[in-house]
Amino acid sequence: MAMAAPTGSAAPVAPALCGHLALLLLLAAPAAHGYSFPQQHTMQYWARRLEQEIDGVMRIFGGVQQLRKIYDDNKSLFEVKENVPRKLVEKVAGDIESLLAKKVRALKRLANAAEKFQKAHHWQDNIREEDIEYYDSKADTEYDDPDGEEIEREKSNSLKLEFTDDDNFKTKVNYSYAAVQIPTDIYKGSTVILNELNWTQALEDVFIENRKEDPSLLWQVFGSATGVTRYYPATPWRAPNKIDLYDVRRRPWYIQGASSPKDMVIIVDVSGSVSGLTLKLMKTSVYEMLDTLSDDDYVNVASFNEKAKPVSCFKHLVQANIRNKKVFKEDVQGMVAKGTTDYKAGFEYAFDQLQNSNITRANCNKMIMMFTDGGEDRVQDVFEKYNWPNKTVRVFTFSVGQHNYDVTPLQWMACANKGYYFEIPSIGAIRINTQEYLDVLGRPMVLAGNRAKQVQWTNVYQDALGLGLVVTGTLPVFNLTEDSSDRKNQLILGVMGIDVALNDIKRLTPRYNLGANGYVFAIDLNGYVLLHPNLQPQIINFREPVTLDFLDAELEDENKEEIRRSMIDGNDGQRFIKTLIKSLDEQYIDEVFRTYTWAPIKSTNYSLGLVLPPYSTYYIQANLSDQILQVKYFEYLLPNSFESEGHVFIAPREYCKDLDLSDNNTEFLENFIALMEKVTPDSKQCDNFLLHNLILDTGITQQLVDQVWKDQDLNTYSLLAVFAATDGGITRVFPNKAADDWEEEPEPFNASFYRRSLDNKGYIFKPPYRDAGYRGLDLENNTIGILVSTAVELSIGGKTLKPAVVGVKLDLEAWAEKFKVLASNRTDKDQLGTRRCDPSSSCEMDCEANNKDLICVLIDDGGFLVLSNQEDHWYQVGKFFSEVDANLMSALYNNSFYARKESYDFQSVCAPEAPSNTGAAPRGVFVPTVADLLSLAWWTSAAAWSLFQQFLYSLTYSSWFQTEEVVGDGMEARETSCIMKQTQYYFSTVNATYNAIIDCGNCSRLFHAQRLANTNLLFVVADKPLCSQCESVKLLQAEVRAPPRDPNQCELVDRPRYRKGPHICFDYNATEDTSDCGRGASFSPSLGVLLSLQLLLLYSSTSRHPLPPAACL
């Protein structure tokens, strides 16, 4: 343990006197060779010398004062404008509302037209494929078989279209046609599908008219309840490398639009008769059922035999968000079949769950989904007790597996409780039969008519056609036909959707006038962010919506919880708060002040927020009306000026529409210069604000070169470079050769040193980051630099702002030597090695003469090593100090010099954890006999079609053919989403000087620590460790993959975050006809397709190698 003695404080309790006395004795006692540990006043003296040296260099080379004067001298060239938060929020919210309102008008035209077209359509029983003309988006898609060979395409009557590249869609499109996508496991030659294709053909004209009225429209999509997707404009389908199992009915936007929110309890029969293949079917069915739920829904899953119990740690209904569903999916795999069946236990558990009113839940559709292999008990007494006569809970029953049980009781349960009965004889029937319950839930919506036609906006999610992050406006489409008795049809036809790219919404928000640390964000009713600079999901083509909570996008605190609640409630407001933020590189934590301002975006589910630091209340707007001056300043951007004026990096911003962006700054600068030779900064195709500010800052930083940098010898002070970066997008590095080793972002707003300098007073040191595995380079051939930067604060007419950051780059090796001298007892007159100490005339150790016995280091506010008197530490500069001296870093943390903040990154990707395949032989697959194969009746049976689907799903559920448990919708061995745990350290509020002893018997060490004024540095002097017997826990800073169940979802669900669901619920209508309540699985197979696939199935069943998993959808 470490015992500390803060200066100016007395020991609060008597027992501590012993430790303090021991510390004083150790400090006073001479060490070997007559040297004693430095006294406190000595180390304070060294600290002052270090502070003075740093301040002196920054005053000479930083040029803060000179730059202030330059701005003052040039104030006729710019205006100081004010950001008024409430006005900004009001304007942006109005602009977003107008953008989405245009999409809503198009959406309503489409939905009304679809209902009209379907009502006028005449059903054709004898319709044929060749009668329908449409573009099949998958007709030209190439698939590879498991062995990497191209699979022969199915014959298609698809239209042959030509496509042209389109920047808006980021792909090739054809604006004259719509495209059709039909899931692979649906037979597109069936009568239902052909009739669907027939009447939806008329939508193409409406799609085209919508685009004429609003050319900015992106994908217009009709997702049918039959699984057919018709989208405009036409483009080939972006399919995975293997089998394509995309089904629009499982997309987040469709699920949200097709029904009101749900409270669902899933109960699974795990009695002894449910074993082997049937149990696997049930597990996969639950997995797929969970995928039909959205964040507006609540769910719990339980297994039952004689008793019922939850499969996971969740004791009540929980929100069906990604993380909770992941827990269910993992725990469902652990279900084991044993005991006898007691339906009563399962249903009583489910009803009790649904009747629990002390928890947050959807409070709309209530349902029980029971999976079983069959039974005789109808448990009528349970339904009489809990559900009759009102029948507020729907019961859906699923008969799973191949068996001979009487299914009449299961059908009766569903029909008696406004539900539906389904059969799942094989894995191929799972996806269809676990999603068709949505048709039943849609009945009250259809019967409610126009009241249920509410436009809803989705969470953010990845577009399946490559548009990137989008939100979708959805509107249900109803079947308006009536039967012979004039009864309304109660089927939902599907959902109409129109996409809005997130980038289009971002373009409506201010950016550069808010400064580097100001930003706009928006959240929905779940508290998930629609806009936020930290919304950066790394995984693509991911089936789940991108659900990042506002409190996970930022570091959570009480103020932000209250702001989030107010935004969800649709209020407006403003609050000035002190909060913690992560640095852009996620290595540091800063305590900052921010003003949060928010207001609702009307006619949507969203609320908009603006965050501004105090120094961003005002900003500079250049006004370079003098064209001669424009030309003069522009010349300083030309590379031929760099040798004398320093190298200029320009921020890669969209200054003009025709400017080609590039990740290579030299190339980008060339593109910029070439364009500027054709247009002027006042051109209509350019952003005049960005261009004028860029050119102004070019001239201002050049004047800094002339007035300060050119007259100084950098080598005298061991500097590798001096630099200035500005809000206008200029980074000037002097001399020109220093640009070769410049590793900072050319966009100042994306540079960690720039943003941290604005938020912190004084000089901010930034060593090059090194991870724990870094082993160093040859210092003689590779000069290492340390950035030191500070913000330039201006006061113009009483208005304070920070438009620039200046700094120097220190030569590590030279400054390490200088550091030893400054932290030593010799004066300028002394020569190294001239002082002698012996037992009769003791003297204090210092960081230069006694570097074999004394460790002296400078550590920054994140705990990273900046300078050391130990030469073997030089290659470790930039490492977290615990990697250098774990014992000493632990002592600093335990003595409250550092505080620790742990958080989670929910947007990361990780390499998949390798599964252990204990067996590779297929099992549990029914393979027909030769007699079966020769029987035409068999080929047209449901069994054959079931086998076809079983084959398709075997490609997806690869583990189905192995002894491992099924893991639905399998993914290839590629990066997958995961949670990363982050730990940052930062200075605590303790500013005292500490002398302390790390008490470890004969291995004890003395140390002294003191903050350096006006910097982010901690000066630490310590004994070198005498032995390695005093091992302490090594503090970790590097980001690591969060262990399973961390964060603990089981605890988090008991204190759920505030949210609101949709304000209207459609779960009941007195006129609903519940007589259609159950059937088995029936399919219409294609004989040719079945024959070829059956042969493949036979091959796979005899092969020693399992089929690989399908691509991630």
Distance (Å, whole) CA 231 – CA 135: 10
The predicted structure's pLDDT at residue 1099:
43
Distance (Å, whole) CA 1040 – CA 1046: 12
The predicted structure's pLDDT at residue 825:
84
Q: pLDDT digit string (tens) for 104-118?
A: 999 999 999 999 999
CB contact burial 741-756 (16+ within 10 A = b; e otherwise): ebebbbbbbebbbbbb
Confidence at 1078, pLDDT banded by 50, 70, 90: confident
Please give the C-alpha separations between residue 554 and each of 116, 349, 557, 579, 589, in angstroms, as whole numbers. Answer: 47, 39, 9, 10, 12
Contacts of 153 (CB under 8 A, 6+ apart): 139, 142
User: Of 597, 703, 717, 695, which Cα lies nearest the Cα of 637?
Assistant: 695
Mean pLDDT is lowest, of 119-123, 241-245, 650-654, for: 241-245
Q: pLDDT digit string (tens) for 567-584?
A: 999 999 999 999 999 999
Q: What residue type is 425 in one-letter code? A: P
Helix (H, G, I), strand (E, B) or coil at 581: strand
* Paired tokens of 626: 């003098």
Instruction: Report residue 985: phi and psi, to 5°.
Output: -115, 150
Unique residue bearing structure tokens 């004259």: 176
**pLDDT over 50 (residue 1083):** no
**pLDDT over 80 (residue 862):** yes
The answer for 564, left when phi > 0, alpha when psi is -120 to 50, beta otherwise, is alpha
Strand duo 365-372 + 262-269: pairing: parallel
- Report the 10 Å Cβ neighbour count for 869: 23
Q: pLDDT digit string (tens) for 657-709?
A: 999 989 999 999 999 999 998 998 888 999 999 999 999 999 999 999 999 99
Mean pLDDT of 856-861: 97
The predicted structure's pLDDT at residue 830:
54
Distance (Å, whole) CA 63 – CA 726: 14
* Paired tokens of 870: 């130990």
Q: pLDDT digit string (tens) for 997-1033?
A: 777 766 778 999 999 999 999 999 999 887 766 667 8
Mean pLDDT of 246-256: 90
Q: What percent of the chain has pLDDT over 90?
A: 66
Task: Give the CA angle between residues 655, 657, 661 to the nearest 5°.
Answer: 65
Assign 3-class secondary structure to 77-109.
Answer: HEEEEECCHHHHHHHHHHHHHHHHHHHHHHHHH
The answer for 494, left when phi > 0, alpha when psi is -120 to 50, beta otherwise, is left
Q: Please, are residues 762 and 793 in contact by the beta-carbon 8 Å criterion?
A: no
User: Of 1054, 1081, 1066, 995, which Cα lies nearest the Cα of 41?
Assistant: 995
Distance (Å, whole) CA 397 – CA 395: 7
The predicted structure's pLDDT at residue 139:
85
The predicted structure's pLDDT at residue 777:
57
**pLDDT over 70 (residue 1085):** no
Mean pLDDT of 741-756: 96
Confidence at 275, pLDDT banded by 50, 70, 90: confident
Mean pLDDT of 880-894: 93
Task: Give the CA angle between residues 192, 196, 197 to the nearest 5°.
Answer: 120
Mean pLDDT of 63-82: 95
Task: Indicate the average pLDDT of the chain.
Answer: 85
The predicted structure's pLDDT at residue 1105:
38
Who wins on pLDDT, 48 or 144? 48
**pLDDT over 90 (residue 919):** no
Q: Where are the alpha helices (DSSP H) in 964-1086?
A: 1049-1052
The predicted structure's pLDDT at residue 457:
92
Q: What percent of the chain has pLDDT over 70?
A: 82
Helices (runs of H) and strands (runs of E) counted in the chain: 30, 41
Contacts of 446 (CB under 8 A, 6+ apart): 452, 476, 478, 479, 488, 489, 490, 491, 492
